[in-house]
Structure 1
Amino acid sequence: MGSKNVNLSPIQGVDDVVRLHSVRKVYGNERNGVVALDGVTLGIARGTFTAVMGPSGSGKSTALHCAAGLDRPTSGSVLLDGREITGLSERELTRLRRERVGFVFQSFNLLPALTVVENVQLPLRLAGRRPKRAQVDDVIARVGLSDRRKHRPAELSGGQQQRVAIARALVTEPAVIFGDEPTGALDTRTALEVLALLRQAVRDVGQTVVIVTHDPVAAAHADRVVFLADGRIAGELESPTAHAVSERMTQLGAWADAPTGDLADGVR
């Protein structure tokens, strides 16, 4: 695993921006419900890029939603940027997400009537903050869209729309950016460009990024891959390669029914 494990070990890292401790999530009642997370303990160190992977139904999206304050665990604790969030009201959670969390989704979630600049400014306006032009221009330049500032989403390619979503996530200078399959709707080349942008944000400004993905190539851009299976942590890899990730996922039975061609495409 390597010496970096000191910074990334669950719950022990003094500079973990996200900590899940014994998190359990049951949908429905405890007796007959579906157990999505079964005692997950996980720490995410500040300034790192983490990918979360697992078979379908492993709990990876639920873990991300609980970590981001989008869903409440049935039991256990979640600390986000040093604050215990499991007991917060909906209003407090909304404010915390606006101020300290950035989101990048598979479907981009841009407002079609707004320009690139207006979409990027939106989180600041929702938080009651006056957008600073230099700050907005800077994040738009960082994602390579300075010449598209006045375009609306319908006038942009899918990759460009996801770049806008990344700029929107970066503009509030959040403690952590969560991505739920952020490259799932993109072709391979565009996906690599988006992943490079996320990697650059970690390297250049110390941003913390956590993504859920099914793609070994996407996961290989991370510092660390955490695997879930049946709602529990099933291991991790540091400095991962696409081949090593694919091999681990195969061991977890993630692609037992997948065509071999699909698997080969994933590790090219």
Structure 2
Amino acid sequence: MTTSGQPPVQLVDVHKTYGHGENAVEALAGVTVTFPAGTFTAVMGPSGSGKSTLLHCAAGLDEPTAGLVTLVGSALTGLTELELTELRRGRVGFVFQAFNLLPALTVRENVGLPAVLAGRRVDRDRVDQVLERVGLTSRAGHRPGELSGGQQQRVAIARALAGRAEVVFADEPTGALDSTTAREVLGLLRELTRDGQTVVMVTHDPVAACYADRVLFLVDGRLVEQVDAPTADVVAGHLARLAGRGAPEAVRL
């Protein structure tokens, strides 16, 4: 776990620019934000506001143009790709809309994969426990192609649980799911924080966002507002208002 009192994820004045000269696009324009341990944060904003870029920079999947990102106690600046991979492998989990499961492996093997990649012995009892927790015990020997979309997403969450990831990044995790299955998946993400894990989720869905402790709103690469204990109606109202406003003032959260 991270050093006591140190947030698992922190961004300080982070900028990200794609392209050069007249073709340059500033996806993040000085973002400062902290994600405390054991919290569930949703990141929202209009299309093109920089939501996924923020998540990718926070997770070390993309390198900021400027600014500092600290992930589970390590500053990411200057780390090699191998060092980044090793850091993420042992302490960070991912839940994406595309599931990212290996089709040749069974459910149980996919859930145990982070331990294998990290060179650790797979804790089979732990794998069985998390499969029971996500309701997939009877599917443990099946391969992803034999599962529904919702079941595949639950495998991805079980993988994060089994690896005891300190931080779980989720990018539109319910985008391909029906409403009933989406609620089940969001409930599982909510449960992760009971174990002290930190969840950062990008979503466009106000209903999904209301499962979080707080919602951060991005506009034109800037964090402009925060809503605590969100409801779907309040979130939808903020999104509608932000979609029509002019250049925003950035805030530090």
TM-score calculated relative to the size of structure 1: 0.87
Relative to structure 1, the CA distance from residue 30 to residue 73 in structure 2 (aligned partners, 3 Å threshold; closer, same or farther) is farther
- The equivalent of 2:124 in structure 1 is 133
| Structure-2 separation of matches of 1:250 and 1:16 | 31
- The equivalent of 1:172 in structure 2 is 163
> Which shows bigger deviation, 124-133 or 63-72?
124-133
- The equivalent of 1:119 in structure 2 is 110
Between the two structures, name the one with larger relative contact order (CA 8 Å, sep ≥ 6): 2
- The equivalent of 1:109 in structure 2 is 100
* 1:195-210 matches, cutoff 5 A: 195-203=186-194, 205-210=195-200
| Structure-2 separation of matches of 1:91 and 1:31 | 33
| Structure-2 separation of matches of 1:171 and 1:98 | 12
Relative to structure 1, the CA distance from residue 31 to residue 189 in structure 2 (aligned partners, 3 Å threshold; closer, same or farther) is same
* 1:1-268 matches, cutoff 5 A: 14-29=5-20, 32-203=23-194, 205-253=195-243
Q: Which runs of 5+ in 1 are unaligned?
A: 1-12, 255-268
How far did residue 215 of structure 1 move?
0.3
Amino acid in structure 1 at the alignment position of 2:54: A
Corresponding residue SS for 1:110: coil
Amino acid in structure 1 at the alignment position of 2:92: V
Amino acid in structure 1 at the alignment position of 2:239: M
How far did residue 115 of structure 1 move?
0.6
2:12/2:33 contact within 8 Å kept: yes
> What do residues 158-189 of structure 1 show as CA deviations (whole Å, max 9, x unaligned)?
11110001011222111100000000000001
CA RMSD of the aligned region, Å? Answer: 1.3
Amino acid in structure 1 at the alignment position of 2:36: A
| Structure-2 separation of matches of 1:119 and 1:100 | 17
| Structure-2 separation of matches of 1:32 and 1:41 | 25
How far did residue 14 of structure 1 move?
4.0
Q: Which runs of 5+ in 2 are unaligned?
A: 245-253
TM-score calculated relative to the size of structure 2: 0.93
How far did residue 60 of structure 1 move?
0.6
